[in-house]
Amino acid sequence: MAEGTAAHGWAARDASGHLSPFNFSRRVPRDGDVTIKVLFCGLCHTDLHIIKNEWGNAMYPVVPGHEIVGVATGVGPGVTKFKSGDTVGVGYFVDSCRSCESCGKGFESYCPQLVPTSGGVDLIDGAATQGGFSDVLVVSEHYAVRVPESLPPDAAAPLLCAGVTVFSPMVRFGLNAPGKHLGVVGLGGLGHLGVKFGKAFGMTVTVISTSPAKREEALDRLGADAFLVSRDPEQMKAAASTMDGIIDTVSAEHPVAPLLELLKPMGQMVVVGLPVKPLEVPPFSLVAGGKRLAGSAGGGMEDCQAMLDFAGEHGITADIEVVGMDYVNTAIQRLERNDVRYRFVVDVAGSKLGVAA
């Protein structure tokens, strides 16, 4: 059997979530595959859920990272979308069944056979998938996107997950209408991009946060119109029934009833954050105002490309702190403490990777 490409990355070996150097191999490229040299990879809160086995389905060792920007270094037969040298992005998933209703409609992220970029199982050879905290990636061109040349590759990386995760439901649920009032709950990696997309869509955007210290930068730097401290009942009460839509990006347990109160009648809240504990939703909070509560996972490949093209046109990138892989465990701890403005991005190509021979 042909040998795959040697890959060098950093992996978690157990639920401590501690990452350390790891050598493995990428699959032999199949027809339609692109080989990518990883340049930068963002650290998403989902990586923390995965490496610490908070969702109970981790397979160790696991190389995290699914906000990947790299350069195509090889294209196999059948590849039409990319050529060597192109800047390529890969997000939360690297394959799906390609034949179910969701795949057919461009909603690949809802495919029952979705293969996450990291911690998934390859549909053909059954191997565990490993993420972007590694030097090389092999992926079908269908699950890669073009990154506009106008975007810097490091600050564009978080768009591949955080960006599309907020952009897709905004477009799909009509929360992109100029003049409408959008609430963004949780000013982290996802949330700060929600603010930027909301403003680019011409919306009025209010940040709803547990961190009063983020007020000034939310208003001055990110361009939000208003800032509410969710733990201040007076502020929340004053803003009741003012919002057309809300995106909830919170990663931890939190009360949602006070958020639903912020919606106008017939308003809708889209949950994208994935805390482990169930949300408590008093039926009255929904029923009384005819409100809707929905969820959304990432975005399909079409949405992802549309999001990147929109970001390219409007100059939207993430606010990032670029770090070397040798800092990644500290970055993980800081992300857990809500101590980053607003996304860590690992300089993968500039880091020492893998176990020395």
CA distance 151 to 161: 16
338 binding partner (options Zn ion, ligand NAP, none; Cβ < 5 to 8 Å by kind): ligand NAP
Size of the site for Zn ion (CB under 5 A): 8
Could you say which residues in the range 204-243 bind ligand NAP, by CB under 6 A? 209-211, 214
Task: Quote helix, strand, coil % in the chain, to nearest 5.
Answer: 30, 25, 45
Report the 3 state secondary structure along 199-215.
Answer: HHCCCEEEEEECCHHHH
CA distance 270 to 249: 9
Residue type, 44: C
Instruction: Work out whether 323 is an interface residue with Zn ion (CB under 5 A).
Output: no
Instruction: Work out whether 100 is an interface residue with Zn ion (CB under 5 A).
Output: yes
Instruction: Tell me the residue nearest to ligand NAP as measured from the CB.
Output: 188
**Among positions 19, 161, 195, 208, the unique one binding Zn ion when judged by CB under 5 A:** 161
* Identity of the residue, 266 or 276, whose beta carbon is nearer to Zn ion in the bound complex: 276
Site string for ligand NAP, 35-74 (x = CB under 6 A): ---------xxx--x-------------------------
Q: Nearest approach, Cβ of 186 to Zn ion (angstroms)?
A: 14
Instruction: Work out whether 46 is an interface residue with Zn ion (CB under 5 A).
Output: yes
Q: Which string of DSSP letters, residue by residue, matches 84-125?
A: TT-EEEE-SEEE--SSSHHHHTT-GGG-TT-EESSS-B-TTT
* Identity of the residue, 225 or 321, whose beta carbon is nearer to Zn ion in the bound complex: 321
**Among positions 48, 103, 259, 304, the unique one binding Zn ion when judged by CB under 5 A:** 103
**Among positions 65, 131, 188, 354, the unique one binding ligand NAP when judged by CB under 6 A:** 188
CB 267 within 8 A of CB 289: yes
Q: Nearest approach, Cβ of 163 to ligand NAP (angstroms)?
A: 10
Q: Please name every residue paired with 11 in a beta bridge, in sequence order, or none if there are none.
A: 20
Kindly calculate the radius of gyration of the chain based on its CA atoms and give it in whole angstroms: 20
CA distance 183 to 252: 18
211 binding partner (options ligand NAP, Zn ion, none; Cβ < 5 to 8 Å by kind): ligand NAP
* Identity of the residue, 72 or 311, whose beta carbon is nearer to ligand NAP in the bound complex: 311
Instruction: Work out whether 252 is an interface residue with ligand NAP (CB under 6 A).
Output: yes
CA distances from 166 to 28, 212, 265, 346 (A): 34, 22, 22, 22
Instruction: Work out whether 109 is an interface residue with Zn ion (CB under 5 A).
Output: no
111 binding partner (options Zn ion, ligand NAP, none; Cβ < 5 to 8 Å by kind): Zn ion
Which among 346, 347, 349, 342 is positioned nearest to 316, based on CA atoms? 342
254 binding partner (options ligand NAP, Zn ion, none; Cβ < 5 to 8 Å by kind): ligand NAP
204-209/181-185 β-pairing = parallel
| Cα 140 from chain centre | 20
> Where on the chain is the footprint of Zn ion (CB under 5 A)?
44, 46, 96-97, 100, 103, 111, 161
